[in-house]
Chain A
Amino acid sequence: MTDLSPITALGGAVPRSVSFGALSLSENTGLALASLSLRRGASQPVPMGLQLPGPGGWTAGNGVAAFWTGPGQWMLEGEGRAEESFARELKSRAPDCSVTEQTDGFVAIEIASAAGPEPIRALMRKLVNIDAAGFGPGCATRTGLEHMTVFVIRRAEDRLAIIGMRSLAGSLWHALAQAAARLEGEPA
């Protein structure tokens, strides 16, 4: 194990988290990411036993998850595996594909609601031009958020993940936290 100490995308020694009313935000530093692209003529693999989702989709199973990022392209997620060689393992399971290590390219912010789906939808309305009503569990997309490009994943009715560029972590956190804080302060 290296003698260097990592810092989180938000610059801390430990992940950041905060709550506003029913919504909580937490930095997911354990999430390993690796992109997977089909090569010419390759058939779609079932890496780590996971059936890859179609356009706009996210699926989870066998301890990993994947979301569609483009034609013939996916991002694989390994929860709690950020310190492993996740990309290398993926490559070994899908040798005919192009695999790229992406764990440190992004910051993942997990948003949970303690009051069902409505706070998640309300937050989405303030942040992304995606119809929350048609964006149920299992949906994932890349879109714009406050001039940043992010992946938005609906992990469950009451859970949403926003994955943005790591260098923008501070701005992204600010945008999410401010929107959540403003929702909490809205006149009834």
Chain B
Amino acid sequence: MNLCEAEKTFILHGVEENFRVDGRERSQYRPMELETNVVAHAFGSSRLRLANTDVLVAVKIETDVPSVDQPDEGKIEFFVDCSANATPDFEGRGGEELATEIANSLTSAYRSTKAFNLSKLCILKGRKCWKLYVDILLLECGGNLYDAVSLAVKAALWNTDIPRVLAVNLDGNNVEMEVSDNIHECVKLDIVPAPVMVTISKIGEQCVVDPSAAEEQCATASMVVAVSQDRFTTVLQSGSGSLHPSTLRESLKLGLEIGSKLDQALIEVLKQKPAKKQIGFLM
């Protein structure tokens, strides 16, 4: 999508007046839809639709050997796949750059032990651990990918059931483990402190959250902050453009405030009992 100068000016003026093109205020999000447990093959999954940004996340679990540096911790790996369904630019290897960028930001946001405790994923110190594969599929890009992805990842991890290990036997060099046969007997992870990302875009003189695809084009610079319980786990500046230190401080403050609100709202939704009927893409 390419905007002409007049369209850009229109958006810019709207932001200045605190009345954006879709009728939102500067600190307002677009409507979101969240559904969990949508992928039958996965241990946990979610689908988030933020206006017309569509993200599907599935968590798969495998056993692995802990790394030498952290023998008592499990592993988590993020993989982003930009589907060509989203835009023809992603065809072939076209989406890999964006995919790596998002995956790396998630990895750094989840690295802190305060945000996501990996020690619960360890089965036997130095010998066996669980490895979580968090696979993110971008189905449609309508702006603000980071926020949508982070919310969907948090929801999918919330939904994840880790098999309960009943016993671990050490037989020479072999580690054998006994996993509970009962599929309802599972361990849940503590996901409450997991980070939520907020993108703040500077359009003209003002900062806005949740930019749409058109607004992203008008932004002079944008920041992504990952907020975990009133603390930042990652701050990164995405795209081109530069920010004045005072604007940076201002946008960080805005990000923290919005991030905590968003996090609270998400947890409230996740605590609700999920609907029995699956909706998926047929709605």
Real complex partners, A and B?
A: no
